[in-house]
Structure 1
Amino acid sequence: MRAMRRIRQYVKVFTRMRRNRADLFGWWLRRPQVGFGTATYELMLILSNRLEPRLKELAELKVAGMVECEYCLDIGSALANSAGLTERQITELPRFRTSDAYTDLEKLVLAYTEAVTATPAVGVPELREQLLTQLSKAQLAELAAAIAWENQRARINIALGVRPTGMAEGMACALPERRANQT
C-alpha cells in the first residue's frame, strides 16, 4: 500500500514538469542500459518500505542541498511536500540542528546524511550506532541506500547539466547549501 502511494506521488510530481524535460531523459536515451539500470534501482528504492518515506525524502533533500543539485532540489522539494514534510522542514534544512521543526529522530537522520555525504565521511560509526537504537538494521540499510543513491543522482545530474523542471513551483522549495569555502 505504501509503495503504491509513493508511485502515485512520483507520477504526480513528474507530471508537474514545466520545462527542460529533455535534459535528464535525453541523456538516458543515449545510454539505454544506464537508463534501465537507473530506473530499476529507483523502483527498488520506492518498493523498499521498511523506513518511513518521509525520512527518506528528508535525507534525499538534504543531500541535494549539500551537493547543490538544482534539479534534485526541484524534484526533491516536490516529493518532500507530497510526503508530508512541512514548509519549515523543507526550508530550514541548512539549520536543522537549531530548528525545532524536526524531531530528534529526524535530526539524527539529517546528521547521518551529512556525515555520509561529506568527503571524507566523518562520524558515521557513532551516528550509525545512535540510529540503530531507533531504527532496525533493515531500515538503516534502506536509509543508507537512499542517501548513497541521491549522492549518485545529484552528481550525475550536475555532471550532465540537468536543469530544474519546475516540479516544485508554488511549493516550499529547499535551497542549495552554500559551503563556507565558496565565495
Structure 2
Amino acid sequence: MRAITRILNYVKAMRRARRNRTDLLGWLIRRPQLLVSTMIQETMLLFSNRVDPHLKDLAELKAAALVNCQFCLDIGSTLAHYGGLTEAQVTELPKYRDSDAYSGLEKLVLSYAEAMTLTPTSLDLSEIRAQLLTHLSKAQLAELAAAIAWEEPACPCQPGTRRAPGRDGRGHDLCAARTPPGGLTPSGSHLFHSRSNEFGAVVPS
C-alpha cells in the first residue's frame, strides 16, 4: 500500500512539472546501461517501504539541501507535500535541531542524513546509528541509508543534464532551502520568495 501511495505521489508531482520533464531521460537513453541501472535503483527504493516513507522524504530532502541540488529540492519538496510533511517541516530544515516541527525520531533521521552527507562533520555517525537502532530495525536502517546515499550521486546528475527550472511566476507552494555546511540558512535566503520553479514550488533565493 505504501508503494502505491508513493507511486501516485510521483505521478502527481510529474504532472505538475511545467517543462523539462524528460531532459534526464533524453540524456541517459544515449547510454542504455546507465538508464536501466538508474531505473532499477529508483524502482527498488520506491518499492522498499519497511521504514516510514515520511522519514525517508525528510532524509532525502535534507541530503538534497546539503548538496545544494535545486532540482532535487524542487521535486523533493513537492513529494514531501504529497507525503504529508507540514509547511514548517519543509521550511525549517536548516534549523531542525532547534525546531519544534520535528519529533525526536525525525531529528535523529535528519542528523543521520547530515552525518552521511557532510565531509568532514562534527556529528558522530556511529552514535546516531546506535540511537536510530533503538527505534528502527536493521532492515529499516539499511533502507533509510540507501535512500540517503542515492541522493548524493543522483543530485549532481540532474543539473548536469537538465535545463534550468521553468520560472513563470505561478508558484504557490514552498520549496526547502539549501543547507550550507554548519546548518545555517544562507544569507539572503527567503523561504517565501515569489520565484516559481519547475514543479510550482517557491524557490529560496
Same fold (TM over 0.5): yes
Residue number in structure 1 paired with 2:15? 15
Q: Which structure has greater helix proportion?
A: 1
TM-score normalised to structure 2 length: 0.82
1:117-162 deviation digits (Å, cap 9, x = unpaired): 0124652111100000011111100000000001111122244455
- Note closer, same or farther for the CA distance 1:162–1:114 as it changes in structure 2 (3 Å cut): farther
TM-score normalised to structure 1 length: 0.91
1:34-81 deviation digits (Å, cap 9, x = unpaired): 111111111111101100001001000001111010100000000100
Q: Does the 8 A contact of 2:59 with 2:113 survive in 1?
A: yes
Residue number in structure 2 paired with 1:88? 88
The separation in 1 between residues aligned to 2:86 and 2:5, in whole angstroms, is 18
Which runs of structure 2 are paired with 1:29-178 in the superposition (5 Å)?
29-120=29-120, 122-160=123-161, 163-164=164-165, 169-178=171-180
The separation in 1 between residues aligned to 2:52 and 2:165, in whole angstroms, is 26
RMSD across aligned positions (CA) = 2.0
The separation in 1 between residues aligned to 2:28 and 2:40, in whole angstroms, is 13
- Note closer, same or farther for the CA distance 1:163–1:23 as it changes in structure 2 (3 Å cut): farther
The separation in 2 between residues aligned to 1:45 and 1:112, in whole angstroms, is 18
Q: Secondary structure of 1:113's match?
A: helix
Code of the aligned partner of 1:152: P
Code of the aligned partner of 1:135: L
The separation in 1 between residues aligned to 2:50 and 2:159, in whole angstroms, is 30
User: Which 4+ residue blocks in structure 1 deviate beyond 3 angstroms?
Assistant: 158-166
Q: Secondary structure of 2:173's match?
A: coil
Identical residues among aligned pairs (%): 54
The separation in 2 between residues aligned to 1:65 and 1:52, in whole angstroms, is 20
Residue number in structure 1 paired with 2:190? none
Unaligned runs of 5+ in 2: 188-205
Code of the aligned partner of 2:61: L
Q: Secondary structure of 2:49's match?
A: coil
Greater RCO structure (CA 8 Å; 6+ sep) = 1
Q: Secondary structure of 1:30's match?
A: coil
1:8-46 deviation digits (Å, cap 9, x = unpaired): 111111111102234322221221211111111111111
